[in-house]
């Protein structure tokens, strides 16, 4: 019997909330096109847990400072979302935090091509999400996606946004229907969606 388990690497991302006149927004980045992995994809600031990091929040804050110049003194950590296991063997812990609107963000262009914001109101809208098939290691995986303006947010980042939405609705006492689930849809429902 094969009991081999692939090595799981720990990572953390900063799900940063910033208050704007139009309401709360989340900070996202587009990765540099020069990166060897996931070039040009949309993600939260974050990365792999280093041995010197005392907890996941420390990782998220360190990486956010490196990638977008976010000074930790402008950040108030609130809580963590359920972790997400990527198809590439990373267990990603999302760290939700409040960011002072006075914080100045500057991309590290070696890693980040662009910094942008998405309204939380959009993230909380169920009809904003899509799901699609994505080939991975010879198999078709079902992944969430959230199109927003010129941006196509998918994969781990979209899955974390789904978790953010679900936790937000639970905390606010809003009804969560059986269809509003973190479970991926069935292949038949994807076929119906793709054909519509």
| More confident: 8 or 57 | 57
In whole numbers, what is the pLDDT of the chain averaged over residues?
A: 82
Question: How many angstroms separate the CA atoms of 186 and 137, rounded?
Answer: 20
Segment 148-164 mean pLDDT:
92
**What six digits make up the tokens of 159?**
């899955």
**According to the model, what pLDDT value does residue 31 have?**
81
C-alpha distances (whole Å) from 166 to each of 91, 92, 125, 143, 176 are: 19, 17, 11, 16, 8
Segment 130-151 mean pLDDT:
79
**70-116: pLDDT as tens digits:** 999 999 999 999 999 887 788 999 999 999 999 999 998 888 889 99
Output the CATH code of domain 9-178. Answer: 3.90.79.10
Question: How many angstroms separate the CA atoms of 162 and 140, rounded?
Answer: 20
**Domain range annotation of the chain:** 9-178
pTM greater than the 0.85 cutoff: no
């Amino acid at each position: 019997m094969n009991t081999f388990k692939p090595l799981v690497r720990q990572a953390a991302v900063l799900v940063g909330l910033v208050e704007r006149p139009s309401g709360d927004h989340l900070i996202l980045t587009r990765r540099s096109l020069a990166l060897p992995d996931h070039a040009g994809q949309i993600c939260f600031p974050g990365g792999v847990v280093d041995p010197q990091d005392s907890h996941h929040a420390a990782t998220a804050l360190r990486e956010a400072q490196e990638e977008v110049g976010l000074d930790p003194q402008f950040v108030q950590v609130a809580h963590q979302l359920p972790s997400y296991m990527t198809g590439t063997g990373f267990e990603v812990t999302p760290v939700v935090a409040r960011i002072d609107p006075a914080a100045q963000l500057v991309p590290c262009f070696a890693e980040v091509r662009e910094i942008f914001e998405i309204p939380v109101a959009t993230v909380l809208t169920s009809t904003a999400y899509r799901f699609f098939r994505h080939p991975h290691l010879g198999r078709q995986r079902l992944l969430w996606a959230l199109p927003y303006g010129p941006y196509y947010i998918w994969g781990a980042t979209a899955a974390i946004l789904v978790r953010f939405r679900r936790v937000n609705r639970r905390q606010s006492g809003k009804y969560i229907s059986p269809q509003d689930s973190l479970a991926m849809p069935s292949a038949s429902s994807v076929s119906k969606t793709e054909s519509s």
